[in-house]
């Protein structure tokens, strides 16, 4: 039970992280906030993207830290720092003051994903890993789902500054149960991780097709995710003409469905694997089917019906939910265990590129075309690229523990 409690605490931390990295999109959809800072579409895209300018810098270093020193204390320190940085955003009165906390939040949130995946890799066996990973990453969906109505209420009744103060400094309460209940990584396990890590040359993994297929697939998945986190509220307000409260409800419902499907898909994949299914094929199958369903976002973009647009928004994000647990679990199956934290960091680097590009490319395509159809059609193309990456490149596990075997691994498939 303590293992599952720790996974739940990790999921809550990820929920807080995703809420704080993404809900600036809500004030960015309100005319008063836009007028106060005199924001252009490019400014809005840049503010949505700014988090990722620093988020990618520490991904692999954070992976190294948790591979070497464990998860509990590095994550606690990073959580404290990013939450304070988010909270002080409420004091901003100039555009540079808005940007600076976003950069700091990105810098310190780099710890959460490598830490969570390292902990699951160390403490959960393969037949439970999809469920644990699904539960962990469900936080990235139910966090924004729960937070969107709360944040819109705070903005509507108390102003955008209150949203940052309350949802920032209030989140510090997570630290108490984490410090009380999360098990510390023992000295022996840290030493074992360090010694094993030295036997797996991390650079050599980049000579394999599996690594590149994983990174391409991660980018494609997260391009859609970060379009949704940064531009979906504005899409509902500007294209579908929903009120602020209605927009918050529909965004919450979309993310809530995605979170529920993510957990169920992790459970289903584990059930199939426990009954003899090949872990690589099972998890890859969930990813491909999920990407196919997610591509229905294009149908939502092309319809003139608001009801149909909401339906396809929910359906497409549920498709991403099918992929969520499994696209994060799959590298833990096909990559060497000793490099789990650093592989997660590399995946998050690909995620970071998506987080930088999705808001900016969406802003550019929106200005170019005058609407949201072209940006959402681009998402469909990117998802099919991801399907190709998983089908062609991600196949047999890497069991190598030395440079020669890693560099020769492509001969196996």
Residue 197's pLDDT is 46
Residue 200's pLDDT is 58
Cα 287 to Cα 281: distance, rounded to the nearest angstrom:
10
Residue 199's pLDDT is 52
Q: Are 197 and 339 in contact (CB under 8 A)?
A: yes
Q: How many residues does the chain have?
A: 413
Query: Considering only CA atoms, which of 178, 126, 146, 111 is closest in space to residue 249?
Result: 146
Cα 96 to Cα 398: distance, rounded to the nearest angstrom:
45
Cα 94 to Cα 102: distance, rounded to the nearest angstrom:
13
pTM of the model: 0.71
Q: Are 171 and 150 in contact (CB under 8 A)?
A: no
Which domains, and CATH codes, for the chain? 2-412 (1.20.1250.20)
Mean pLDDT split into 10-residue runs, the chain, 413 residues: 91 93 85 90 84 83 84 94 95 92 93 90 81 85 83 91 95 95 63 48 82 94 89 87 79 80 89 91 95 94 91 92 87 76 82 88 92 94 96 73 42 37
Predicted confidence (pLDDT) per residue in 232-254, tens digit = 888 888 889 888 778 777 777 78
Per-residue b/e over 239-255, b at no fewer than 16 CB within 10 Å?
bbebebebbbbbbbbbb
Per-residue b/e over 2-34, b at no fewer than 16 CB within 10 Å?
eeeebbbbbbbbbbbbbbbbbbbbbbbbbeebb
Q: Tell me the HSE value of 301 on the side-chain side, using a 13 A CA sphere.
A: 19
Q: Is the dihedral of CA 134, 140, 141, 143 positive or negative?
A: positive
Residue 395's pLDDT is 78
Q: Are 340 and 121 in contact (CB under 8 A)?
A: yes
Residue 74's pLDDT is 93
Cα 292 to Cα 309: distance, rounded to the nearest angstrom:
17
Burial class (CB in 10 A: 0-12, 13-18, 19+), 112: buried
Q: Are 250 and 241 in contact (CB under 8 A)?
A: no
Residue 403's pLDDT is 40
Query: Considering only CA atoms, which of 362, 393, 164, 148 is closest in space to residue 258?
Result: 148
Residue 175's pLDDT is 96
């Amino acid at each position: 039970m303590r293992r599952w409690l720790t996974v739940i605490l990790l999921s809550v931390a990820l929920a807080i992280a995703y809420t704080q990295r993404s809900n600036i999109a809500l004030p960015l959809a309100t005319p008063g906030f836009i007028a106060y800072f005199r924001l252009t579409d490019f400014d809005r895209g840049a503010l949505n993207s700014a988090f990722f300018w620093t988020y990618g810098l520490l991904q692999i270093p954070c992976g190294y830290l948790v591979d070497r020193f464990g998860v509990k204390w590095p994550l606690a320190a990073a959580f404290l720092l990013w939450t304070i940085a988010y909270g002080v955003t409420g004091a901003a009165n100039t555009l540079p003051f808005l940007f600076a906390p976003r950069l700091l939040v990105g810098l310190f949130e780099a710890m959460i994903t490598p830490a969570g995946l390292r902990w699951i890799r160390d403490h959960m066996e393969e037949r439970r890993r999809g469920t644990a990973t699904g539960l962990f990453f469900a936080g990235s969906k139910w966090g924004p789902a729960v937070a969107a109505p709360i944040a819109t209420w705070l903005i509507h009744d108390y102003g955008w500054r209150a949203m940052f103060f309350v949802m920032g400094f209030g989140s510090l309460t997570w630290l108490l149960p984490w410090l009380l209940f999360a098990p510390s990584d023992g000295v022996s396990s840290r030493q074992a991780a360090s010694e094993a890590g030295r036997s797996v040359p991390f650079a050599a993994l980049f000579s394999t097709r599996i690594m590149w297929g994983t990174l391409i697939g991660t980018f494609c998945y997260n391009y859609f995710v970060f379009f949704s986190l940064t531009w979906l509220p504005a899409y509902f307000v500007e294209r579908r003409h929903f009120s602020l409260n209605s927009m918050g409800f529909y965004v919450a419902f979309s993310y809530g469905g995605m979170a529920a499907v993510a957990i169920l898909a992790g459970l289903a994949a584990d059930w199939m694997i426990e009954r003899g299914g090949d872990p690589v094929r099972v998890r890859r199958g969930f990813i491909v089917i999920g990407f196919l369903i997610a591509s229905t976002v294009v149908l939502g973009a092309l319809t003139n019906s608001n009801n149909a647009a909401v339906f396809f928004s929910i359906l497409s994000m549920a498709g991403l939910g099918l992929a969520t647990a499994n696209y994060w679990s799959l590298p833990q199956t096909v990559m060497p265990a000793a490099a789990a934290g650093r592989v997660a960091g590399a995946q998050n680097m690909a995620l970071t590129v998506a987080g930088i590009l999705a808001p900016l490319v969406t802003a550019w395509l929106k200005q170019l075309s005058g609407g949201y159809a072209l940006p959402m059609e681009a998402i469909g193309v990117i998802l099919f690229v991801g399907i190709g990456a998983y089908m062609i490149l991600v196949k047999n596990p890497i069991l190598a523990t030395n440079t020669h075997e890693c560099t020769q691994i492509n001969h196996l498939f």
